[in-house]
Amino acid sequence: MEYRLTTPCTAQELAPLKAGDTVLLSGVVYTARDQAHKRMMEALDKGETLPFDLEGSAIYYVGPTPERPGEVIGSAGPTTSGRMDAMSPRLLDLGNKIMIGKGKRDAAVKAAVVRNGAVYLAALGGAGALMAKSVQTLEVIAWPDLSCEAVRRLTVQDMPLTVVLDAHGGDLYETGPAAYLAAL
């Protein structure tokens, strides 16, 4: 199935999604990679507010390259999501609903996705230029000293993504290969 979603999203809006579905995502998406996640954890530990509201948010694990003249963003391909696994359950428990990246997630992240009615969506690795075409606006909103890992607020239109983890425990990395082999 193909779904169109606009952020921020609720658990009810994400409930119909199943591992393997296609999503065309529009709205605000925040970028945050390893170092930004580390700073978010430090801020939370100190009781400080985060640079954006987590409720219903979408976080894209990306460190875009510099844009060329006339472009909004440079190449914006996903980074390996597993590097955020230790920090993701906490953000999901605080309201984050959509994570975007590539690669498998650990058991704690999978449990937090189900517990919070969230999803993990895969962006096409190696296709950073394609992903960048969906970005309409970009604003650095926190930690510019992190350079490409600074937190950015992106406005996206029809960003093409695939559901990897759904709110019901579905995992495309588990069911996908079996479905492929069964179709042979």
**Is the full-model pTM beyond 0.85?**
yes
- The size of the chain, in residues, is 184
Tell me what pLDDT residue 138 has. 95
Tell me how far apart the alpha carbons of residues 130 and 54 are, in angstroms, rounded to a whole number. 26
* C-beta of residue 43 within 8 angstroms of C-beta of residue 22: no
pLDDT at residue 181, rounded to an integer: 79
Q: What does the pLDDT look like over 15-53, one tens digit per residue? A: 999 999 999 999 999 999 999 999 999 999 999 999 999
- Residue bearing the bigger pLDDT, 75 or 162: 162
| Pairing between β-strand 151-165 and β-strand 135-142 as defined by DSSP bridges | antiparallel
By annotation, the residues acting in catalysis are 37
Does pLDDT of 180 surpass 80? no
Helix residue ranges, H only, 48-170: 88-93, 107-116, 128-132
